[in-house]
Structure 1
Amino acid sequence: MSFDAVIDVKDVTKSFGGLTAVNKCSLRVERGSITGLIGPNGAGKSTLFNMVAGNIVPDSGSIYFDGEDVTGVPPYKLFARGLLRTFQIAHEFSHMTALENLMVVPGDQPGERLANIWFRPDFVRKAEHHVRQKALDVIDFLKLGHVKNELAGNLSGGQKKLLELGRTMMVDAKVVLLDEVAAGVNRTLLQDLAANIERMNEELGYTFFVIEHDMDLIGRLCDPVIVMAQGEVIAQGPMEEIRANPEIIEAYFGSPVEAA
């Protein structure tokens, strides 16, 4: 399969006071890929992720999304363009059901305008039915039918992560940024989560950019894997090559001898 870059980061730098968190970093996320981003604590992964997501503005360099310069574009505008992010801690609406959590995702729904409710009630009902049916389809895809009417706050950590994936499906995202998707998820549900990421990639064409500390999950899902250390990209390739790279072992463990 031939790819083209849907995210292209060029010479991006970000400092906080006297600390340079990301230093002239460049990387590409190819369309249709599941690209992993790994590195030791303090490598600059989260800062880079936050710049791509629009939460932090870089000091210099450029970020391109789908061929357009989006450097400094805020998250809500990136959302509208199809760049979505999930979080290490799921951000569900705890007092709404799982189904309702999905239904509120699409923006600019007719029912949000009071005039439509008064003067175009049939139009509002039809649009709401369409959104509800899409949410039910997403629930079925993720095999969450047994909890669709459960309050989201009562779901397990893994179910909440699946629900976050479902929210990205409600707006047909082009790229999903996954931040520590394995955090707080038991091993059984983690397998379900991984399987659904693979299905969304293979069957629906989603592109994923993943920060993760679980190397087994990265090894299962991601190709390529990008490695950061001290704010810079130091390697990129399949996980088998990454695991065998002495420079990466040194970055994680201090020296190849100690790592052995």
Structure 2
Amino acid sequence: MSSMIEVKSVGKSFGQLAVINDCSFSIEKGSITGMIGPNGAGKSTIFNIIAGTLPLDSGNIILDGEDVTNLSADRLFSKGLLRTFQIAHEFSHMTALENLMMVPPKQVGENLFSTWFQPSKVAKQEARNKRKALEVIDYIGLSHVKNELAGNLSGGQKKLLELGRTMMTDAKVVLLDEVAAGVNRTLLKGLTDNILRMNRDFGVTFLVIEHDMDMIAKLCDPVIVMAQGSVMVEGKIEDIQNNPRVIEAYFGSSDIA
């Protein structure tokens, strides 16, 4: 398999504190790769560097064969790299359906000239976006709340909506930031199932930072373990759970979970 993301010798410091140290790993195309480690291991920092929300000090980030080092999040979005957030970032005063319709880039209705002098062109694109949004909201199982204000949705429904927003574009890779946080077990199953379906049906590559080890075990192969700003070990979850170095460094017992 070829790599969708390559992290090459990345370094990042905040003042005198080195947070990421010569960190290198690859995310294979079509994989669902997990990333785990204790607080302070550098997971969120390397995640934000890949997502374009934090500049690196050294090294390179390669996306699908292209060097995208220190490109901004909006430019990465146009290249097919998207992210979700631990706390959902919905447009709370818009409906769930409208949240999805906001996502597609380069909408002609954003141009004042088009809204005044090309209303039929705007209307046609809006209709296309609405059709796709209806398909997506049905796919993720939120049709029953499509007309509800997004701010009124539960935490789990907001996470599903964020996942749906990634489907409104031609996403190549989606970075999931603790998607299980604050989600009840029923909706968590729906989230997990939708991630697996997107991976299977559309070939979307995922990088998942998560503390829920049951979710990691169900979703992810391989799993990357971060330690002191670099990769400690990488492999299948069952091997990692029994790895003495991981047990000793992070968990102090034989039970990772």
Same fold, judged at TM 0.5 (above): yes
The structural deviation recorded for 1:118 is 2.1
Contact 2:37 2:250 in 1 (8 A): yes
TM score, norm. by length of structure 2: 0.97
Aligned residues, how many? 256
- The alpha-carbon distance between structure 1 residues 257 and 75, as it changes in their structure 2 partners (threshold 3 A), is closer
Amino acid at match of 1:224: P
Amino acid at match of 2:109: G
Contact 1:22 1:48 in 2 (8 A): yes
Structure 2 stretches of 5 or more lacking a match? none
Question: Out of 140, 143, 166, which is 2:141 matched to?
Answer: 143
Q: Let me know the Cα RMSD of the aligned residues.
A: 1.2
Please give the alpha-carbon distance, in whole angstroms, between the structure 2 residues aligned to 1:233 and 1:192.
Answer: 30
Structure 1 window deviating more from structure 2 (110-119 vs 241-250): it is 110-119
- The alpha-carbon distance between structure 1 residues 32 and 257, as it changes in their structure 2 partners (threshold 3 A), is closer
Amino acid at match of 1:222: C
SS at 1:182 equivalent: coil
Tell me the residue number matched to 2:68: 70
Please give the alpha-carbon distance, in whole angstroms, between the structure 2 residues aligned to 1:205 and 1:106.
Answer: 19
Please give the alpha-carbon distance, in whole angstroms, between the structure 1 residues aligned to 2:142 and 2:37.
Answer: 33
Amino acid at match of 1:12: V
Question: What are the residue-to-residue correspondences of 1:20-31 with 2, within 5 Å?
Answer: 20-31=18-29
Is it true that 1:98 corresponds to 2:96 in the alignment?
yes
Tell me the residue number matched to 1:200: 198
Amino acid at match of 2:208: V
Tell me the residue number matched to 2:236: 238
- 1:188-242 residue CA offsets vs partner (Å, 9 max, x unmatched): 1000000000000001111000000001100000000000111110111111111
- 1:125-169 residue CA offsets vs partner (Å, 9 max, x unmatched): 111100000000000100110000000000000000000001000
- 1:35-93 residue CA offsets vs partner (Å, 9 max, x unmatched): 00101111010110011011111111111011111111010100111100100000000
Contact 1:36 1:210 in 2 (8 A): yes
Tell me the residue number matched to 2:131: 133
SS at 1:35 equivalent: strand
Is it true that 1:114 corresponds to 2:112 in the alignment?
yes
The structural deviation recorded for 1:17 is 1.7
- 1:7-45 residue CA offsets vs partner (Å, 9 max, x unmatched): 000010111122111100001000000000101111010
Is it true that 1:249 corresponds to 2:247 in the alignment?
yes
TM score, norm. by length of structure 1: 0.96
Tell me the residue number matched to 2:170: 172
Please give the alpha-carbon distance, in whole angstroms, between the structure 2 residues aligned to 1:114 and 1:22.
Answer: 44
Please give the alpha-carbon distance, in whole angstroms, between the structure 2 residues aligned to 1:227 and 1:172.
Answer: 29
Amino acid at match of 1:109: Q
SS at 2:247 equivalent: helix
Is it true that 1:226 corresponds to 2:243 in the alignment?
no
Please give the alpha-carbon distance, in whole angstroms, between the structure 1 residues aligned to 2:255 and 2:182.
Answer: 30
Amino acid at match of 1:118: W
The structural deviation recorded for 1:257 is 7.9
Contact 2:82 2:174 in 1 (8 A): yes
- The alpha-carbon distance between structure 1 residues 120 and 58, as it changes in their structure 2 partners (threshold 3 A), is same
Contact 1:53 1:78 in 2 (8 A): yes
Amino acid at match of 1:230: Q
Please give the alpha-carbon distance, in whole angstroms, between the structure 1 residues aligned to 2:198 and 2:251.
Answer: 34
SS at 2:93 equivalent: coil
Please give the alpha-carbon distance, in whole angstroms, between the structure 1 residues aligned to 2:68 and 2:183.
Answer: 33
SS at 2:162 equivalent: helix
Amino acid at match of 1:46: S
Structure 1 stretches of 5 or more lacking a match? none
Is it true that 1:209 corresponds to 2:207 in the alignment?
yes
The structural deviation recorded for 1:108 is 1.1
Identity %: 66
The structural deviation recorded for 1:119 is 1.8
The structural deviation recorded for 1:253 is 2.3
- The alpha-carbon distance between structure 1 residues 91 and 30, as it changes in their structure 2 partners (threshold 3 A), is same
